[in-house]
Amino acid sequence: DEFEKAISQAQIIMFPGGFSAGDEPDGSAKFFATAFQNAKIKEAVMRLVEERDGLCLGICNGFQALIKLGLVPFGKITGQTEDSPTLTFNTINRHISRMVYTKVVTDKSPWLAGTKPGAVYCTPASHGEGRFVASDEWLKKLFENGQVATQYCDPEGNVSMDGEWNVNGSYAAIEGITSPDGRILGKMAHVERRGDGVAVNIYGEQDLKIFESGVAYFK
């Protein structure tokens, strides 16, 4: 009841990254998905999304949770279908932890209001199951709908399938996607890992201003 009440009073729900349950396969994503499938919680989330113009954000494990719930790409808690996009093990079959370059593809999402299509950012990535996988039909649909938010690229902004840049082997080099209306965003790289002393010797802009953009949406 307390959780339901908190959601009913919120404007934003964020599913954070970070390891949970030993980060066993789907560890924290399963936990998130199970909790949010509760009838009361599910109803509160859908009221936030469908009636109250709220926003949702999922990073890394949080992105996995959004996928499992169906909040991306469907925009509602439906669970995954047999052919819906998913996140699976990196092609190198182990955890990766490094900086990655990503290119903004759309300006459809309020979360990306502080940037613009074509902008390139360097962001920490740390995951074992970050490979975005989808059928050709889904890939076509996501691009046509403007739901592909960000793609892995080289420092010059060239989208790449090279393992040096597309570190987990994601299909179409997709790093982040949104719901159909853009108000729900899921991405793998840790945009929240920001600070004056963080990655100071790394080339490239690092701040997508995602959190500032999310707050500004309600002003």
Cα-based distances in Å from 108 to 53, 122, 209: 15, 21, 15
Rounded to an integer, what distance in angstroms lies between the CA atom of residue 50 and that of residue 205? 34
Which of these is catalytic: 56, 60, 127, 153? Answer: 60
Amino acid at 189: A
Is 60 designated active site?
Answer: yes
Maximal CA-CA distance, the chain: 49
Rounded to an integer, what distance in angstroms lies between the CA atom of residue 109 and that of residue 87? 21
Which of these is catalytic: 56, 127, 153, 192? Answer: 192
Which of these is catalytic: 127, 153, 175, 190? Answer: 190
Quote the tokens at residue 201. 């010797």
Q: Using the CB atoms, write b or e for 193-219: b if 16+ within 10 Å.
A: ebeeeeeeeeeeebebbbbebbeebee
Is 192 designated active site?
Answer: yes
Catalytic residues: 60, 190, 192
